[in-house]
Structure 1
Amino acid sequence: MSPGEELGSVMQLDRLVHEPARLLILAMLAGAEEVEFRFIEKLSGLSKGNLSSHMSKLEAGGLIEVLKSFRGKRPLTTLRITPAGRTALDRYRRHLAEVVAGIPTQSIEES
């Protein structure tokens, strides 16, 4: 593969996963059985609305499952990564590693 083709493969990255907030959500979910909305909100620094928007996109893509329940009388939202989400995240990691490996390196001293 030529350097141009290798760099062009950046455009083939899964855009649903590649967006930084969604990648963060998936990475957090990959390490747990399920995670509460408020935990992700606090750790990520995303607003409720922004987090909800990204969750909706991931859920529509089948990458996460959003569970609604109650803790006492208070609503509780938890998220869980799906098997398809784990597969997409793994595929993304491998693809990104290939893209990064194909980026030419040149030190400052060489230029």
Structure 2
Amino acid sequence: TAGNLSVQIDKLSEAGYIEVKKSFVGKKPRTTCRITPVGRQAFEDYVNALKGYIDM
């Protein structure tokens, strides 16, 4: 749901994994997220851990 997505975006932003930019296009809100270097490294570490679990 939109509410659940908002909570997840807030958590990722607070952890420093993403940067969030909020704006409006006309009268509609737009949220843009960009992964940070810290977030990219955390994701790579996560993927490597998963690979380790399945012996890749």
TM-score range, shorter chain: 0.7 to 0.9
Q: Distance in 1 between matches of 2:6 and 2:28?
A: 18
Q: Deviations over 1:40-88 (max 9, x none)?
A: xxxxxxx011101111111111111111111123221111111111111
Query: What do you get for the CA RMSD once the two structures are aligned?
Result: 1.1
Taking CA–CA contacts closer than 8 Å with sequence separation of 6 or more, which of the two structures ends up with the larger relative contact order?
Answer: 1
- Matched letter for residue 77 of structure 1: T
1:76 partner amino acid: R
- State TM-score, norm by structure 1: 0.46
Structure 2 gaps of 5+ residues are none
Measured in 1, the distance between the counterparts of 2:28 and 2:53 equals: 45
Unaligned runs of 5+ in 1: 1-46, 102-111
Higher share of residues assigned strand? 2
State how far apart, in whole Å, the 2-side matches of 1:86 and 1:59 are.
Answer: 13
Residue of structure 2 equivalent to 1:77: 31
Q: TM-score, normalised by structure 2?
A: 0.85
Q: Which has the larger radius of gyration?
A: 1
Larger helix share, 1 or 2: 1
Give the aligned length: 55
Q: Secondary structure at the match of 1:96?
A: helix
